[in-house]
Structure 1
């Protein structure tokens, strides 16, 4: 089950406002530590590292009033492109050769640039890390499965506001469409 040359490591939504306010400190710290371990190994193995951020224009033109989640973001006046809280956590800063994709919805696939990158580079396997499990991870896994990608979720490089939700998704829901593995197992697969 060695990871092939057509894999990417996708780091999703490790933005300052999410890391500091939407999950506990213990959860975000653990997820960041494991994400950094995976990133180091992916770089060493020549696996491209991609970053996904959710962000909106100054006037939130991308958000419809009927979208409960994003309408609340608009109301709170957060996650605008260029805002400090929208920036990646200072420990997750990409190298100059790594790509950052902006999305306006929950799934990473809502970024047409991200989808285009995967298609243009003939990517077959996605290794995923992100905050939150019930948000970007679940939505991205569902869509990636529909698009026939091999999906590996780094269980301990993800987290959620509620630990029981994280555990339930990792144990009962995500394994229907993805391989749910810990960081050390994925590191071994990366060679």
Structure 2
């Protein structure tokens, strides 16, 4: 089955302890989420799966930032997630060189306002393996959108993190209704 790996928002501002909106960074570190993302990137390369790195960001000057958004409305005041700035660079620990395609998204889901679906359809992708930060927001939103677009959805639990262990656990419980929750060991057999 044609497979793609989608890794979400492992960027400095979100996933690094010194990031400007790094609510989940402590859990990213404690869960070794980026190390696990690197392992799945290497596995995906061996298996010739399409490898997609996704980052959220707004146009310089925040022209496309939704100021009314409870999630994104204050990012300009913090100087966070502005494209072409250090905060939207991939986390220095992420093996970003193993990615084949970078998608920049303007909202929570990797499908919203991007060419992700077109890129997947061009490669006749049927199955998506999704991981990233935060489990509560980007992973859930992207997994739900993928499900509704009729992809088979797998979520790599070991390479995800949320602001708290409880948020992560609850997200995984919810995602299990629309996706298969998998481990690195499970993926070796695909």
Does the alignment reach a TM-score above 0.5? yes
For the residues of structure 2 that align with 1:49 and 1:143, how far apart are their CA atoms?
18
- Where do 5+ consecutive residues of structure 2 fail to align? 17-21
Among 101, 104, 109, which residue is 2:111 paired with? 109
Q: Which has the higher helix share?
A: 1
Q: How many angstroms does 1:132 deviate by?
A: 0.4
Q: Which of 154, 162, 165 is the matching residue for 2:164?
A: 162
Count of residue pairs brought into register by the alignment: 184
Match of 1:175 in 2: 176
> What is the alpha-carbon root mean square deviation over aligned residues?
1.6
Deviation at 1:184, TM superposition (A): 1.6
Contact 1:126 1:151 in 2 (8 A): yes
Pick from 79, 83, 88 the counterpart of residue 85 of structure 2: 83
* TM-fit CA distance, 1:112: 2.3
Structure 1 residues 114-125: aligned runs within 5 Å: 114-125=116-127
- Calculate the TM-score normalised by the size of structure 1: 0.90
Does residue 13 (structure 1) correspond to residue 9 (structure 2)? The answer is yes
Offset from partner CA, 1:28-78 (integer Å, 9 cap, x none): 361111111111111001111111000111221212332111112123221
CA distance in 2, matches of 1:188, 1:85: 36
SS at match of 2:4: strand
